[in-house]
Structure 1
């Protein structure tokens, strides 16, 4: 799988930090897309829009549809893979023609969900069964169900870390930096690879908000003039680590020449030791190891280097949420597809991802987390809309790579400035925006 899949990780964060967008193609009826009671009574055609162009091209989605038809024989499913999913679907949503089932674009403000999507049912009912349901809740109704979730942390090459003499996960940022220095001194690997040029991997760092303090409401707590980059704040801890890794020269020689696709083979082959990514990346790295004739068992995943009461935590964040268009002419069939795909298809298991269904087991890819008693923190979305508004008004972009690229440039001396002044500027902009946002 290529970059199409990898974009999932950045969109997890982007979905959390949506921006106001579309105007809509007419009033929605508010009709619930109810789950059909009898599969044989559901018929017709539905179109499913997807960002997973790779699964369209390799026929995987057609195979899923064939399995779906064993349960719903009278429903025809057509897929449309869209490369620039966010950009194109946002434009289409100014009309009524944006498919029957679609992934909710990050560009749609949460408060606008009822304009574009059919409610799937009351929050209490869906929250009992599915993780991440509060992400699409508006006024007591849920408008989307996650395809899957992902945990956040570092994907790393176990063989390289072992060669450097590191046998335990770092428990603090200082221990993490010491480990990278050991890798630099005892191996030929790049200790940490930034993926600076592609940019989107830098957003993965934001998804660790909540991991540092094991606080599910850590993102909600950004909703105000709270100076998020002050000492003790999670973003201060996260971005200080980014800065110090770069400042101490523990990265590739020239960040402006990084290459995401190549980095997968480099990490799998031991040329790179560590990268910050979501757990969705594990299967990609394992695949790269197989292709290179290496060992998938060398691919490891570790939590952010911070503990609370002696335990590591890792935030769980939602992938794209599948929704039924408010303008769909075949809501029962559209809802049938979403329910089957989420509950029965085995998609999240094959992707090595965290299942949306609460009763399903965690994936084998997170066995190291389970074995080491890492606590999973499912991030609250209660104040997402206000956090979005502040972030947009401050023009910082927690879901964009720009400010961390500037941070890296500052740390490596390509741009003037100090970390202290950099954080002071971010705090000033955030707090000024917070005093006017949402008012």
Structure 2
């Protein structure tokens, strides 16, 4: 499984040109299919692990409620990469997850609007996250908070009793794990790439809901020591430089990493809360207790309090070219309201009045305060994406972080200071060009 947010530089840069070139801006209904909750719809998903099991139960329940609709699934392993190519055509399913490579001002070219954002927000959380010009184009499959999933037994074996409150304390704890246990202190999942992008969804750890509208794209130095990317990327660099990660990052494997953490061979990974249940499942399958899996906030406090960003995961959306838009919308709304997907996966409900997951007890015990980031200012929804594109730095993706890991482990030239200076220089130049 992969989840928001991640992308490659190629997907991001190419989306604004290739994808738009293949789009005519609107679809035509066949036999009035847009208005009838009927027909066969293809639903694209990134959940290759449960498409043949859990999703078949969803299909049966939905088709019982909507007997004139047939649901077919297509699971895609490299979701971001493949969908960026397919969206050069009109053939990208009826329902799909909005990829990160689509900028806000492009949403209407590819997707049917769900409704006015103010109205959608009365029922669904995260309505402003895939929105443009007052229209919302997708409904979250689940909501996530962000932090670090860890094996409690390993941390206890290392003699660690308190949660780290600073990056420096976290680094010291990883060193203790390396010295006192046989576990790999930290696992990057470098080879799969997308897990490295999870850190960008932790901006709320700084406790400022307006941070993205006052920093990041609004700063010439996002990799300064006191800026979010300087903090989180600096910690990753220090972990690798100190040899506290896997020995050969090029051979990491996402599916295997679940087993490694569940069985205590790996101590810690930075991932969204969606990962908790998957790690618990892996621990249970290996004969361990599900309770061995813990979840800690990012090691940073403001006035003695931890904060964690909350936001929507991928958003289900309707292909603007679909011939069965009513059926596609029925699936999206049923999935959000009836499937129980979010709760079963330990996620925040996409419904405003939805249930709270039981998997976040560790956060409650730590007194974590949740931060929902303020939407971009009207007229500036694409500003950060525009700067990213001009700078050719995949801020939501793995490429520049993979290079960071390579530098830290001595496989590429440079050091932390020189690389951060380069990133800041490219970023400032892009800001100047975007205006």
TM-score (norm 2): 0.90
Check whether the contact 2:186–2:266 (CA below 8 A) recurs between aligned residues: yes
Alignment of 1:3-402 (within 5 A): 5=1, 7-11=2-6, 19-21=15-17, 22-23=19-20, 24-28=22-26, 42-56=37-51, 58-211=52-205, 213-220=206-213, 221-382=215-376, 383=380, 385-402=382-399
Deviations 1:315-336 (A, max 9, x none): 1232211111222222222211
Check whether the contact 2:149–2:270 (CA below 8 A) recurs between aligned residues: yes
Check whether the contact 2:27–2:323 (CA below 8 A) recurs between aligned residues: no
1:186 to partner: Cα distance: 1.9
Deviations 1:53-90 (A, max 9, x none): 3333x242222122113332332222222334333333
| Distance in 1 of aligned mates of 2:118 and 2:186 | 43
Structure 2 counterpart SS, 1:327: coil
Structure 2 counterpart SS, 1:162: helix
RMSD: 2.6
Deviations 1:172-225 (A, max 9, x none): 1111112112212222212112222332221122222221x1122323332234
Structure 1 residues 11 and 318: CA distance shift in structure 2, 3 A: farther
Check whether the contact 2:273–2:347 (CA below 8 A) recurs between aligned residues: yes
| Distance in 2 of aligned mates of 1:265 and 1:29 | 44
Structure 1 counterpart SS, 2:3: helix
Deviations 1:76-125 (A, max 9, x none): 22222233433333333333333322211223222111122111111111
Give structure 2 stretches of 5+ with no counterpart.
none
1:429 to partner: Cα distance: 0.7
Check whether the contact 2:45–2:96 (CA below 8 A) recurs between aligned residues: yes
1:9 to partner: Cα distance: 4.7
Q: Does 1:430 align with 2:427?
A: yes
| Distance in 2 of aligned mates of 1:30 and 1:377 | 41
| Distance in 1 of aligned mates of 2:61 and 2:280 | 27
1:340 to partner: Cα distance: 0.8
Check whether the contact 1:246–1:412 (CA below 8 A) recurs between aligned residues: yes
1:29 to partner: Cα distance: 6.8
Check whether the contact 2:7–2:394 (CA below 8 A) recurs between aligned residues: no
What is the count of residue pairs matched by the alignment?
Answer: 423
| Distance in 1 of aligned mates of 2:137 and 2:28 | 11
1:313 to partner: Cα distance: 1.0
Check whether the contact 2:7–2:80 (CA below 8 A) recurs between aligned residues: no
| Distance in 1 of aligned mates of 2:152 and 2:387 | 40
| Distance in 2 of aligned mates of 1:13 and 1:107 | 8
| Distance in 2 of aligned mates of 1:9 and 1:330 | 26
Counterpart residue number, 1:414:
411
Check whether the contact 1:104–1:320 (CA below 8 A) recurs between aligned residues: yes
Structure 1 residues 207 and 12: CA distance shift in structure 2, 3 A: farther
Check whether the contact 2:144–2:272 (CA below 8 A) recurs between aligned residues: yes
TM-score (norm 1): 0.89
Give structure 1 stretches of 5+ with no counterpart.
none
Structure 1 residues 42 and 415: CA distance shift in structure 2, 3 A: closer
